[in-house]
Amino acid sequence: MSETPYDIAVIGAGSAGLTVAAAAATFGQSVVLIERGKMGGDCLNYGCVPSKALIAAARHAHAARAGAGLGVHAAPSVDYGAVHRHVHDVIDGIAPHDSVERFEGLGVTVIQASARFTGPDVLEAGGRTIRARRFVVATGSSPVVPPIEGLAECDPLTNETLFDLTALPARLAIIGGGPIGCEMAQAIHRLGAAVTVVEGATILSKEDPEAADVVRRAMTAEGVNLIEGATVARCTRSGDEKTLHLSDGRAVTAEAILVAVGRRPNLDLGLDAAGVAATAKGITVDRRMRTSNKRIYAIGDVTGGLQFTHVAGHQASLAVKSIVFRMPVTYDPALMPRCTYTSPELAQVGLTEAEARAADPKAEAWVAPLSGNDRARADAATEGFVKLVLSGRGKLLGATVVAPTAGDIVATYALALAAKVSPATIASFTPAYPTLSEAGKRAATLYFGKKLDKKWVRSLLAFLKRV
């Protein structure tokens, strides 16, 4: 069945696609939204929402155990069935906002089926032929399960199945020490499981090494077993016991295996028929999020860039501005913050110290350790720091934060980068006392302290003192 052309056809009802569909419909565009799976996509059903709900439960369990140093003694009892219900209650509470009913109420035509391009301006979905003035591909990504011998027979978990568990495995092995692997390792260990992480390189390898080391020490101190620099050669199973045989000869036994080695873009869309260029890493887009077919935009994980919900949402807003309002837009990944929600959290925006020094040999990093912050001392959470990375000319290039609330703190520096705020402004603003935010101001103050520690400055000050 052929339909009257829509203004916009959106493929994928995850955070990126939903943002485009809702905004475009609000501004009077005729929109068709196509989703083959669950409304809300990965973030709501398998990613950010359930993982952070699980982490919240784990944080409460850990806080009960960790209070002894502050004079509070408690022994938590974890009911994992109740934790599972909490996780799914959170999903259920948000789901109506992403539902078919809500979007149909906005005037969006929702088709729950797979979509495939059959030409540069036409696709098929659910037995319908759909034409549109513009298309937005927001199909996201899926977890990678590596081709390790015997792994399939061990029924490995991914983020798409982990949150279905109603009972906690006594022993969990995690393949992959990136953000997902580290977050889940710490959270599940805090809830009572013995957890081993196997990482072929180093955990959180894309992050500032000093920051990753703070997280490493915290996880190890809590009892998470980290095996770095070894890969899984093969897996075997004997009844309910599963064994990872490592490249260095060691073996790890567990009741369950979680695979967290990365994600691949969902590209099974007939892109060749649409004239859309793509690689195995994702759909190729320009800085306006347009593909090689200028009728078609691609946003979110499917582009192979930064895989974060807030990035997908930002790209969706750019697509709406470009399509609906014909505004010039530019996506700048350097302004996008990221955060790993371990404890402490690790957040980054802009360049890391190593990246900055590679681009500018005169770049410097100014570090304020939490051990010098009064709030951190009061909370007995002094492991971490705020690091500001400045160019040789004193321009803010990036910020690294390792702290209990690093994801919130880094927002200040994301704004500073976007608004091109000077270090002088950062050094002169007044955060509330006592807060962890003071650490960032302290780092900027250290920079100016060194700038002013010059012979001519001291001479000038001595003169002013005399007169």
Residue 464 lies in a domain: no
pTM of the complete model beyond 0.75 = yes
Give percent of the chain with pLDDT exceeding 70: 96
Of the residues 215, 241, 261, which one is the last residue of a structural domain?
Answer: 261
Distance CA 88, CA 49 (A): 9
**What's the pLDDT at 4?**
73
pLDDT tens digits for 49-71? 999 999 999 999 999 999 998 99
Distance CA 147, CA 249 (A): 19
**What's the pLDDT at 292?**
98
Of the residues 235, 261, 287, which one is the last residue of a structural domain?
Answer: 261
Domain of 14, CATH number, reads: 3.50.50.60
**What's the pLDDT at 448?**
77
Residues whose CB is less than 8 angstroms from the CB of residue 165 and which lie 6 or more positions away in sequence, other chains included = 80, 84, 157, 256
Which residue matches tokens 């098929």?
124
Residues facing residue 257 across a β-bridge:
173
Q: Computed over its alpha carbons, how large is the radius of gyration of the chain?
A: 25
Contact between 269 and 139 under an 8 Å Cβ cutoff? The reply is: yes
- Would you call 354 exposed, middle or buried from its count of C-beta atoms within 10 A (0-12, 13-18, 19+)? middle
When pLDDT is cut at 50, 70 and 90, the band that residue 437 belongs to is: very high
Q: Give all strands of the β-sheet with 232-238 in edge-to-edge order.
A: 232-238, 241-246, 251-254
pLDDT tens digits for 274-320? 999 999 999 999 999 999 999 999 999 999 999 999 999 999 999 99
Q: Are residues 203 and 114 in the same domain?
A: no
Residue 49 lies in a domain: yes
Per-position b or e across 400-410, b if 16+ CB within 10 A of its CB: bbbbbbbbebb
Residue 85 lies in a domain: yes
For residue 170 the two structure tokens come to 């006594």
Q: 453-462: long-range contacts (C-beta < 8 A, 24 or more apart)? A: none
Residue 248 lies in a domain: yes
**What's the pLDDT at 139?**
98
**What's the pLDDT at 454?**
58
**What's the pLDDT at 447?**
85
Identify which has the larger pLDDT, 4 or 75: 75
Q: Are residues 198 and 307 in the same domain?
A: no
**What's the pLDDT at 128?**
94
Q: What are the binding residues for FAD?
A: 52, 139-141, 301
Least Cα distance to 157 among 38, 50, 53, 83 occurs for 50
Residue 72 lies in a domain: yes
When pLDDT is cut at 50, 70 and 90, the band that residue 466 belongs to is: confident
pLDDT tens digits for 216-235? 999 999 999 999 999 999 99
Residue 435: its H or E element: none
Q: Are residues 12 and 129 in the same domain?
A: yes
Distances (CA, A) of 245 to 169, 196, 248, 256, 353: 20, 13, 9, 14, 36
Identify which has the larger pLDDT, 87 or 456: 87
Give the mean pLDDT of the chain: 95
When pLDDT is cut at 50, 70 and 90, the band that residue 464 belongs to is: low
Q: Are residues 99 and 185 in the same domain?
A: no
Residue 75 lies in a domain: yes
Residues facing residue 348 across a β-bridge:
338, 400
Of the residues 308, 333, 358, which one is the last residue of a structural domain?
Answer: 333
Q: What are the binding residues for NAD(+)?
A: 176-183, 199, 262
**What's the pLDDT at 452?**
58
Q: Are residues 157 and 139 in the same domain?
A: no
Q: Are residues 119 and 13 in the same domain?
A: yes
Total count of domains within the chain: 3
Residues whose CB is less than 8 angstroms from the CB of residue 168 and which lie 6 or more positions away in sequence, other chains included = 78, 80, 188, 191, 192, 193
Least Cα distance to 344 among 316, 376, 292, 381 occurs for 381
Average pLDDT over residues 134-141: 98
Q: Are residues 289 and 353 in the same domain?
A: no
Residue 322 lies in a domain: yes
Kindly provide the residue ranges of all beta strands, DSSP E only, lying in 176-273, ordered along the sequence.
194-199, 225-228, 232-238, 241-246, 251-254, 256-259, 263-265
Q: What are the binding residues?
A: 52, 139-141, 176-183, 199, 262, 301
**What's the pLDDT at 458?**
61
**What's the pLDDT at 236?**
98
Distance CA 124, CA 120 (A): 12
Q: Are residues 43 and 118 in the same domain?
A: yes
Q: Are residues 216 and 277 in the same domain?
A: no
Residue 34: its H or E element: strand 31-34
In terms of residue numbers, what domain contains 357? 344-452
Distances (CA, A) of 286 to 83, 135, 273, 283, 299: 43, 15, 20, 10, 11
Phi and psi at residue 200, to the nearest 5°: -65, -30
Distance CA 288, CA 328 (A): 8
Domain of 367, CATH number, reads: 3.30.390.30
Distances (CA, A) of 405 to 186, 291, 347, 409, 462: 16, 37, 9, 6, 42
Q: Are residues 159 and 234 in the same domain?
A: yes
Q: Are residues 256 and 273 in the same domain?
A: no
pLDDT tens digits for 323-355? 999 999 999 999 999 999 999 999 999 999 999
Q: Are residues 52 and 129 in the same domain?
A: yes
Residue 398 lies in a domain: yes
